[in-house]
Amino acid sequence: MIATDGSVCSRIAASRGIELARLSGGTVYAVYVVSTEYFSSMAVDFDRERMYEALRKEGCKAVSYINEIGELKNVNVETVLLEGHPADELIRFAEEEKMDIIVMGMIGRTGLDRLILGSVAEKVIRHSKVPVMVVKEKCDS
């Protein structure tokens, strides 16, 4: 399973995940989570539907990118869009679908940014029963 948020770092992780699948003969599940975390803090009169559609469109673009890489490398890719809290949904999906590994990118935050913002990747690493491969490059987005 390749978890993506569409970032440069996710794209680097996707390339590594596709290569792993190519070498092992596996199928890739390209997964994007439309985060509902944004909606809980929005004003009631905010156009939630428009925001949801924008996030969904971003997700379709992110998983399509992985699908295109898979086609170039002759790797079967299944695209999946989920809704919810990203770390929770990634863990749930990977465990329910009995994935062999989760591949994801991580931007190297340090200090106060890391403490305040946390990281989806860090939460997945801490709580997933499925092994996680984190690709950490110079991914300053």
pLDDT score of 74? 97
Residue 62 has pLDDT above 70, yes or no: yes
Residue pair 57/64 in contact by the 8 Å Cβ criterion:
no
CATH number of the domain residue 70 falls in: 3.40.50.620
Per-residue model confidence as pLDDT tens digits over 101-127: 999 998 755 555 455 445 888 899 999
Mean pLDDT of 59-81: 98
Q: Evaluate whether residue 75 is within a structural domain.
A: yes
Q: Evaluate whether residue 141 is within a structural domain.
A: no
pLDDT score of 75? 98
pLDDT score of 136? 81
Number of domains into which the chain is organized: 1
pTM of the model: 0.86
Q: Evaluate whether residue 140 is within a structural domain.
A: no
Q: Evaluate whether residue 25 is within a structural domain.
A: yes
pLDDT score of 41? 60
- Return the residue matching tokens 């004003």: 43
Q: Evaluate whether residue 122 is within a structural domain.
A: yes
Residue 95 lies in domain:
2-135
Q: Evaluate whether residue 117 is within a structural domain.
A: yes
Pairing of strands 77-84, 132-135: unpaired
